[in-house]
Amino acid sequence: MDKVAIVTGAGGALGSAISRHLGTRGYGVVVNYYRNKEGAEKIAQEITSKGPGQGMACKADIRSFAEVQAMVDTAVKKFGRLDLMVCNAGGSLGMINRSGKEKLLLEHDEAEWDLVIETNMKGAFNLIKACAPVMIKQKNGHITVISSGTGLRGTLKMASYAAAKAGEIGLMKAAARELGEHNIKVNAICPGRIMHGVVAAVVSNFADDAYLRETLLHKNGDAEELAKFIGHLATMENVSGQTLNLDSRILF
């Protein structure tokens, strides 16, 4: 394949949209999953059958560097290269626990805090660390971290998620500085709220919708638009170290 991507959390709504879109662009796509094997395999088969891309499902817990490294090695062995790493897997406490319930900072216990930080920020660290050596050898590559405006502004009952997403943005900037000399572009995207599964359950717990009121366009995000944006960003050769906002909110 001329272009190869790994998309983490690809069994979910956002990751599947990203994976499918990259497949239409002719990528070899490693469809990463942790829980949803059936969903990931279905997406990989769809990418391959529709072409021009080729899909492959691969299990890895992004909290484990050994598992992430094994996934990167598998991708390079099968496709011969790695051009794009999409650090998509993550989520807030309610999303990760599939409960739809968030907690105030003072209600978190240590295990819950660690779960969110490790799934988001440590996961991004492991992914960047594992893919960068391959891209350094190629003297080219893109790393895209899916962060959140919550990491810039904070949100009620999402202290751990805000901390993790702010950490991802700091990590992205540091990685962009270190890897720029090797022509590796590292960026973060804040996609805004995209309604799907567990996110819808989390939102239903709030009495009023402050999110929509503070967006300039007064609407939620779209998974397909996010996927197209990531595909386009991976063609750009002079964009790195940036936090790119897709949700029409004014973020600081």
Enumerate the active-site residues. Answer: 161
Task: Return the bridge partners of 59, or none.
Answer: 33
How many CB atoms neighbour CB 242 within 10 A?
16
Parallel, antiparallel, or unpaired for β 54-59 and 84-87? unpaired
Distance CA 198, CA 203 (A): 9
**Phi and psi at residue 145, in whole multiples of 5°?**
-100, 125
The tokens of 78 are what?
């099968």
102: nearest Cα among 123, 116, 84: 116
CB 223 within 8 A of CB 169: no
Distance CA 28, CA 26 (A): 7
How many CB atoms neighbour CB 64 within 10 A?
15
CB 125 within 8 A of CB 171: yes
CB 115 within 8 A of CB 145: no
**Phi and psi at residue 109, in whole multiples of 5°?**
-100, 170
Distance CA 209, CA 212 (A): 6
